[in-house]
Amino acid sequence: MSIKIDIFNNEFLFLKELYSQKADEINQIEKHFRGVERKKLHPNWRIFRRSKRKWVTLAGVFELNITMYETTNELTNKITRFTYYHHDKLKELKFSKYDIDNIKFAIKSYLDESHIPSFLRSVLPSKQLLNHYLQTLEISKKIEQKNKEKLDSLKTNLFNSNDQIYIEMDDLYINHQAEKKKKMRVREIIFHTQKNNKLENVLNLFFTKNLDERLNEFNDLNFVFNTIKEITKQTKTTKKIVVNGDGARWIKKLAEKLNLDFSLDLFHIRKALNIAFGFNKFASKKNKKLFKTWYNKTFNLSWKKLLSVQFLLKILFFLNNFIINF
């Protein structure tokens, strides 16, 4: 079976058909109530005005019928007029002509900084109206609450874990977008457990300080120390927490002050080994000169061949067989 797609037709044809059917269904409900049910249930309701409400959907604009009725108080002869909402969709349209899905799509696109296709812009709220929805729907508070729930759940999993907990520490410097000459220092503290070489229960903390900013109780090393101490004392694991980092003085100082073990991270271990023993094109001239003629007496191999992956695999294979046979 082959399908045909007209890429120049911007309509969602099947979706449009579904919305059209729903609009007809809602209008039939209004017609039945106005012509049949109203006369049985509310014989004193008189039709004052019939009108249509625009229903802007992702598949286009549809019209929904709605009726305003009036009643007369028998004692005071006072006339009361009101609109009868015969379907929940019309109750929603009291506040906006845009369908909830349209508003939701516009908000999520804004938050994700996603590009909106040009053919959809006509069925989405304007920037001004979108800002109105962001405020009235309290989107910032909802995001904050959702983040808090996720953070609480993450902390619970981390603190109740019996696995080894690691703390990765590093710092970096970034330029402010508005002022490129102004730099910010960011100290990153990452708590995590590890399973099958994959990080789990990851908790990120960022401590920022502008370089031209004076030290205070909220940006100095003591603040970082107190924050980490507060978190680590909640953990239930009996295993000692390990701090990984590049060996910077502030990291070692924190680890010592927190009475935690320090370990040089894998990247910097490899870097140190490469500086000391490396023989690739980035190695120092002294290394190349030394290891070019250096031989291991036990294996009678050059340093380069001795540390080659193939040879190491052979050694591991040999040791594995030796242990099994033994």
pTM of the complete model: 0.70
- Amino acid type, 142: K
The length of the chain, given as a count of residues:
326
pLDDT tens for the chain, 326 residues long, are 688 888 888 889 999 999 999 999 999 999 999 999 999 999 999 999 999 999 999 999 999 999 999 999 999 999 999 999 999 999 999 999 999 999 999 999 999 999 999 999 999 999 999 999 999 999 999 999 999 999 888 888 888 888 888 999 999 988 877 666 688 899 999 999 887 778 888 899 999 998 888 888 888 899 999 999 988 888 877 677 899 999 899 999 999 999 999 998 888 887 777 777 666 666 777 777 777 667 777 777 776 676 664 555 565 566 555 544 44
Q: Which domains does the chain have, with CATH numbers?
A: 13-136 (no CATH), 158-267 (3.30.420), 278-325 (no CATH)
Which runs of consecutive H residues, i.e. helices, occur in the chain? Answer: 13-32, 38-41, 88-92, 100-112, 127-136, 139-159, 221-232, 249-257, 266-277, 285-293, 303-306, 309-325
User: Which residue, among 262, 299, 292, has the nearest Cα to 278 in the 3D structure?
Assistant: 292
The closest alpha carbon to 204, from 183, 184, 186, belongs to: 186
Burial of 148 (0-12, 13-18, 19+ CB in 10 A): exposed
Please report how many Cα atoms fall inside a 13 Å half-sphere around the Cα of residue 96, on the Cβ side: 19
CA-based torsion, 178, 180, 182, 187: positive or negative: positive
